[in-house]
Structures are given as C-alpha cells and as structure tokens.
Structure 1
C-alpha cells in the first residue's frame, strides 16, 4: 500500500512538472492593396513560423480588388514576426481587427510584427462603422460590390435591400431616442441595445443572408439575448422576423406580418416590441406605452427613406446616403444632416465621436453637480 501511495505521488509530481501544452489562437490579417491588383499580394511563408498553420475554414480567407485576407492559427501569447511573400510595394496596410500592424517591406516579401494574443482575432475583414450612444450601439455596414462574397458573391447585388437597411437602422435609432429605450436599458442594467444590418462580404464566414436588420437587447454576459432577424424583400419592404434565444437551439420562431415580438430584459419584463405591419412597415413600442411607426417616405420601399411617427409628435423624414469611395455617409433627419467620415478599409469612424473635456476650472464633479450650485447655468465669463 505504501509503495502504491509513493508511486501515485511520484506520478502526480511528474505530471505537475510537465509544461502546459502550447495552445493556438486564430487570427485574420487583412493586407490592403496598393491599387486594385487582380492577384494575391501576400502568401504566408511557413518557414517564418513553423508553429503557425493556415486556416482553411471556408470564407475566413478572401481575395478581391481591395485586399488579400489570410487566416492563420498561431501560438497563443507569443510575439511573432511572420513573413509573407508577394509583389514589391503591393501592400499599403496590414490590419488585425480594426487596427494596423507594423510591417517591413522588402523586394519580394513583407514581415509583419504580431503582438502576443490571448484570444482569437478574426474580424479584420469586416467593414462597418459603430455609433455608440447611451444604452445603444449602431453597427452600420458598408456594402462594397468589390468585396462581395458568400451568398452575395454572384447574381444580383442586394443594393436596394442594403439601402433599405441603412434607412431602417437609423430609423430604429430615432425610435430608441424618442422612447428613451437606451437610457432605460443602461439605468436598469439590462444590457445594451444593438442595431445592425447585414454584411455582404461574409467576413469570417458570417454569411448574413438573406438581407435583414436587427435591434436586439444584448444581455449582460450575452446569455438570454433574443435576436430577431427582420428580413427585407427585393421591394425594400419587411417580410417577416425569425427570432431565437442565443445559445439555446430550437428556440427560433417565425413572426409574420401582423405578429408582435416582444424583447424581454434579464428582469423578466418586456422592454420593447417589434411588429411588421401588413404593409411591410415597422412598428416599435413599449409593451404598455407609446409606440412609433416607421413607414417608407415614398410609395415604394425603405431604400429611398422613411417617415418616423411617434405618438402625437410630428412626422420625421429620414434618409441615408453612403459614399463608399469617399468614406463618408450622411443621415438626414428633417433639416438636420449628420456627417460621418470613416476609414474605407475598415469602416472605423474618423469623425469625432465625443466632445473634448471642459477646462479644469469648469469641471463639476458628479457629487457636487447633484446638489445646489449657485453658478450652474452661468457662462464661465460671468464667474
């Protein structure tokens, strides 16, 4: 018995002394082309990292007039220099996620400096802008025909559906503002409302078809999030909603025109509902409160604009235009025209997103601002 215990302890000690197995993470690198080369501008040289392997998952790699996209499995938490062969001076930028990586370019290859990564980094092929507001984030996708892939690789490009999604995304933002849904979600710690459209370039195998929009409440830790897919027809109108609970198979349910889908918060109460009308329009409201109707601005679909009607407030006319070549999109709400400039390679906004801070002498701490302040409302010049 004593020998058995000693053998067990020795085996345990030996196993504890063994180093942990090396693990890998998946990365996607985007090599932005200088010009519009018809062929790949980068190919991974396995001799530069024998522990790295190409990832062959469909739609993780891409080749188009804008970029060469390469997916690799690389060692976790290792500083690496990866070599890629290709034509000289053919690469303008190397992107990981939506940020740039330093690289050195030689005659027939470039060397990319990769930081140590603790998790997968696979979103570099996405081209979307993000607008963050209290309790809400809007993800505005840029549909570039030069990048088309997946379900949209061939055939008619869904230009009208994408323009309709553009309008519906910002119409939903207007409703979120008018009903105070974002502030309530934040105040009650229910999560964050996420407004999204659809990708047309299938980044990291996100096929995202048929065309649709979202407005879901992302619960804390994501568990319990109900995700609806509001599908858009070729006529620019909404057809139906397929909704389910993230991470729970078999929960998907179809909501047709006239059906009501209520989004529930983590506290078990409904925060808002969606209803596609019999005409293919969209109604959003509180379960026991005011509601807003989003309808096309003209006689057709949403691609040409929308009118938003909330309660007794007057109608708001809304339209959206995206200039892919210029890297700018505009959102017109009645007489107010918002301008958003973005990086055409990533979609990342380059327009200022937050106001600069006030000077130190004008800063009021929160604990003071909640009490009587004899100077509140006065100009600093009058102090």
Structure 2
C-alpha cells in the first residue's frame, strides 16, 4: 500500500507543470527521421545524405538514430522548422522503392545516383519512421504490436541470442491484456471519465530513434491528457517467458523508478485521483489485473513453458479465453485467436501500418444509427 500511495501522490502533484511546459518557446529546428526502404536484393547498399542540398541541415550523430540493414537505411537530420525543403541523397540506382516519414510515404524522384525527397514543413519532431509496429485502436485503448524482425535487430538485441521466446510471450500478453480491458470495461471507463487512453505495448528489437527497449517487457499504462503524470510500468519477461517484476516511473517526475516484485500490487491512478486499475504479478509469474472495484482477471500461460505458447484469461462470470498469436513477418499477417474467434490483421511489412479495415462505413441516410452499442468482450 505504501508504494501505491507514493506513486499516486507523485503523479497528482505533477498536474500544474503541464501548462508551464506547453509555454516553452518553439525551437528554430526540428529533428526528422527518414526511412529508405530497399528493393529486394539491394542488401547492404547504403543511402547517404548530401549536405550540399541543405546547408542549414545536419546529420544527427547520436547512437541508434541512424541505421542500415538489408531492409532499409534510416537517416536522422536536424532541419529548419516549418520550411519546405528538397533534400538530396546519394544512392545506387534502383536501390530504394519507398521513403517513409512517420507512418506515411513521401514522394521522391531519382536523378541518376541521387534521390530527391520533398520534405513537408515540420512544426515538431518527426522521429518514428524506423518503428515497425501495428496499432489497433479501440474505445479508450490503443494496442501497439511490435514486429520483431531479426534482419533489423539493433541496440541491446544487435548480437547474441535473439529474444524470440520473450517476444512471443509479449505477443500473447499484449492481447491477453486487451481481452481484460474489454471484459472489465476499462477503456470505456477511461473515455467516460476523461482519464486519457490505455496504451498496451511490448518491446522493440530494432532500437528505433535510440529507444533500446530492453530487457524484454510489456506495458499497460493510462496515458493522461498532456502525458505528464502518466505512470508507466515495465512488466519484465524472463528467460522462461514468465513475468519477473515491474519497474514504474511517472512521466515528467524525474524521480527514480520504483520496483514491484512478484506478489506486489501496483495501482494505476487516474487524473482525478481514482484507482483506474491494478496489476499484480503472481508468485508464479502470471498476471492479475483488477478494476479497482473488486473485480479481477487472471492471465496465466497455456502451458508450463511460459507465455510464449499463449495465454489463458479468466475473468469473473466468464469462461476461460485461450489466446494465441502468430505473426507472419514475410507476408504481413498477424493472426490472433481468442477461443473460437480468429482475427486477421494485415499490415505493411515496411512500417507495420495496419492495412485491414479499421472503421465501419457509414449507414445509408435513411437508416437511424444505433444509440447503444453492445459492450465489447462480454
């Protein structure tokens, strides 16, 4: 209980700092990360920025902001803020088939061994192009599913054994937490009370924009409006594919993280001081999630080998839900099986961008829209 109160108090004390942070003067330059997707067979042929094309621009030389692998070349630059600039890059002919900024594609043209990229005027940093993750959006919740590609491995995962077992465990845990959020109505509650958005995440293995993301872990945090005050837990996954402990920090606090071991309960506090939900890693390395009002769901492995083989979700008043996840990196197909329900998410293999339909088309004008939707996950 002491740990729970300490984090809640720290988070609530941060609310007044949001306005002062927003009042900071804008910078004269912004950081941009561009991903040059290679054609098949291009291998390790790199792409290089031509500084003569923009004398006011400079290459970011911080570790892991730039990358080159068989899939892509990633280049980070500091560029003038809100300027329309055409950048030139040296590249062998027919090496590049796509240029990505954030999750979108930029138009480019080639001139012999040069690539010319028209950069839109940027008002703020745009650094996430190197990420390869699929986002699944539901009421009050976003699930960010990271695709672990050994060809892109970098940072803490650049050498040694690739964390395939831990990544598969994270896959199952992400969708198991999603099932709990649906069953307990946590996302709808976050929307109804204006708390922010629940974000479920795993870990990257390619260290995009310097985000090392190690050791392997999963998240489920409530991102407050304005972000400051968000309590971010890291539920670490051990070599057996089970959860070992949780390290929690509060966004904007600047204080050391707090550790929650097996058996300890961590409460996520909403902006109004209410407990939004709780997490407890059990003594076996399983996960219990409660709604703060007495109801709790247990997530346990489907086998003795940890969560890598899948997860079983047991909530009050519902039957067991067995969840397995398969990620086909080559074809960009993510398959999630929940009991008898099989979901298929198709994504762009270069970025993770969700290609499957995510919104229902509008009804005909003569049809009255439904006022009440059936609750998810019941």
Task: State TM-score, norm by structure 2.
Answer: 0.90
Report SS of the residue matched to 1:162. Answer: helix
User: Aligned equivalents of 2:271 and 2:94: distance in 1?
Assistant: 52
Map of 1:167 onto structure 2 = 172
Report SS of the residue matched to 2:178. Answer: helix
Residue correspondence of structure 1 range 1-383 to structure 2 within 5 A = 23-364=28-369, 369=371
Once the two structures are TM-superposed, the CA of residue 36 in structure 1 deviates from its matched residue by 4.1
Tell me if the contact between 1:41 and 1:91 (Cα under 8 Å) persists in the aligned partners. no
Moved more, 305-314 or 255-264: 305-314
User: Aligned equivalents of 2:320 and 2:39: distance in 1?
Assistant: 46
Q: Unaligned 5+ residue runs, structure 2?
A: 1-24, 373-378
Q: Unaligned 5+ residue runs, structure 1?
A: 1-19, 371-383
User: Aligned equivalents of 2:320 and 2:27: distance in 1?
Assistant: 60
User: Aligned equivalents of 2:88 and 2:245: distance in 1?
Assistant: 48
Tell me if the contact between 1:31 and 1:41 (Cα under 8 Å) persists in the aligned partners. no
Q: Flag the structure with more relative contact order, 1 or 2, with Cα contacts below 8 A and sequence separation at least 6.
A: 2
Equivalent pairs, count: 348
User: Aligned equivalents of 2:53 and 2:39: distance in 1?
Assistant: 24
Structure index of larger Rg: 1
Once the two structures are TM-superposed, the CA of residue 311 in structure 1 deviates from its matched residue by 1.2
Moved more, 291-300 or 243-252: 243-252
Tell me if the contact between 2:46 and 2:68 (Cα under 8 Å) persists in the aligned partners. no
Tell me if the contact between 1:190 and 1:266 (Cα under 8 Å) persists in the aligned partners. yes
Task: State TM-score, norm by structure 1.
Answer: 0.89
User: Aligned equivalents of 1:36 and 1:71: distance in 2?
Assistant: 24
With over 3 angstroms needed to count, the CA separation of the structure-2 counterparts of 1:122 and 1:22, relative to structure 1, is closer
Once the two structures are TM-superposed, the CA of residue 150 in structure 1 deviates from its matched residue by 0.3
Map of 2:19 onto structure 1 = none
Once the two structures are TM-superposed, the CA of residue 287 in structure 1 deviates from its matched residue by 2.3
Once the two structures are TM-superposed, the CA of residue 39 in structure 1 deviates from its matched residue by 2.7
Tell me if the contact between 1:22 and 1:75 (Cα under 8 Å) persists in the aligned partners. no
Report SS of the residue matched to 1:100. Answer: strand
Tell me if the contact between 1:30 and 1:96 (Cα under 8 Å) persists in the aligned partners. yes
Kindly report structure 1 stretches of 4+ aligned residues shifted beyond 6 Å.
none
User: Aligned equivalents of 2:266 and 2:208: distance in 1?
Assistant: 29
| Root mean square deviation, CA, Å | 1.5
